[in-house]
Amino acid sequence: MRVLVTGGAGFIGSNFIRYWLDRYPDDEIVNLDALTYAGNLSSLADVAAAHCDRYRFVRGDIGNVDLVEHLLTEYRVDAVVNFAAESHNSRALFDPGAFLRTNVLGTQGLMEACRRAKTPRVHHVSTCEVFGDLPLDSPDSFSEEHPYRPRTPYNAAKAGGDLVVRSYQETFGLPATISTCANNFGPYQFPEKVIPLFTTNAIDDRPLPLYRSSANRREWLYVTDHCTAIDLILKRGRIGELYNIGSGVEQSVEQITDCVLDLLGKPASLKTYVPDRPGLDRRYLLNSGKIRRELGWQPEVDFAEGMRRTVAWYVANEEWWRPLQRQLAVQESGWGTP
């Protein structure tokens, strides 16, 4: 089987490529990535060396229809998994247009190329944030039937991309599925996101900037469990369906911070509180009963073990994340500053 992975130099994409090549020794991967600021080929340097006969990298934009169509036909691609996206809420406040260009127009270009090439299988990776947020005291969770109510430019751009994929499936019969996933964490995550940011700051005894609404909660999933879910959806998912992928485990920002500090043996005095980011969501929780019932998926790595693995990885891999720190364009402590 030949799989085109878009955005494969990013956090989840690079973990998925590792997962797939290890699990399926006869399969081949083509990694298409534009290498914007969060794309990092060093995340796959060992993969490229170990699997040079089964792994290829192509630098390019998913919105380049001719390029993508060429790759699909040249490599006789059997399936496409789309991870390519601008994905950081804070950055989206400074340049919403970049998020719409990649996540909506780029997705449309990719779907058009898949339609022209008659790609046998397409899967689009989305986010729980397209559904909006939930009150902290609510017992509710988001099902696949919940209406889309995005609250930030990033969320809206991802929602728009989802609708593009749905339209190509309905109108042109593109054999596509979509998944919405809880917050992922694990190795190779760009250090602008909360867990690697707090971990790397704590390693250097620098302040950990918590939003003042530090009781806000997120659902957390270790990245390899996301990979196994996508695998099952590709192989057994029903065309045209949306699947929620969630652990059911919620943690507040305060709890995440305390866990990082405990694992590193650092003092609570490193915690500092900053104004909330505009449009900050209160809570996300997915109802993932559908994928569990229909496909038999279950997460395998519990939150505590995932955190131990993640923090230990950042401790052991400073040469990976230190060069990336100068690319952190957003200062989370600056919200509310005129």
Q: What is the pLDDT of residues 276-317, one digit of tens each?
A: 767 667 888 999 999 999 999 999 999 999 999 999 999 999
- Would you tell me how many other CB atoms lie within 10 Å of the CB of residue 247? 23
Of the candidates 9, 7, 32, 22, the residue with the CA atom closest to the CA atom of residue 231: 22
What pLDDT is attached to residue 281?
72
137-183 residue pLDDT tens: 888 999 999 999 998 998 999 999 999 999 999 999 999 999 999 99
Q: CA angle 89-269-302, nearest 5°?
A: 55
Query: How many angstroms separate the Cα of 21 from the Cα of each of 2, 16, 26, 139, 233?
Result: 11, 9, 8, 40, 17
Cα(126)–Cα(103) distance, integer angstroms:
10
What pLDDT is attached to residue 238?
98
Q: In what order do the strands lie in the sheet with 2-6?
A: 55-59, 28-33, 2-6, 79-82, 122-127, 176-181, 242-245
Q: Could you give the domains of the chain?
A: 2-185+223-249+284-301 (3.40.50.720)
Q: Is the pLDDT of residue 88 over 90?
A: no
Neighbouring-strand partners of residue 57: 31
What pLDDT is attached to residue 51?
86
What pLDDT is attached to residue 282?
80
Residue 240, classed as helix, strand or coil, is coil
Q: Is the torsion defined by CA of 310, 316, 321, 322 positive or negative?
A: positive
Residues, the chain:
338
Q: Is the pLDDT of residue 262 over 90?
A: yes
Average pLDDT over residues 88-97: 72
What pLDDT is attached to residue 333?
53
3-state helix, strand, coil in the chain (%, to 5): 45, 15, 35
Q: Is the pLDDT of residue 31 over 80?
A: yes
What pLDDT is attached to residue 335?
44
Q: Is the pLDDT of residue 115 over 90?
A: yes
- Which residue intervals of 187-317 are DSSP H helices? 194-203, 223-236, 253-264, 289-295, 303-316
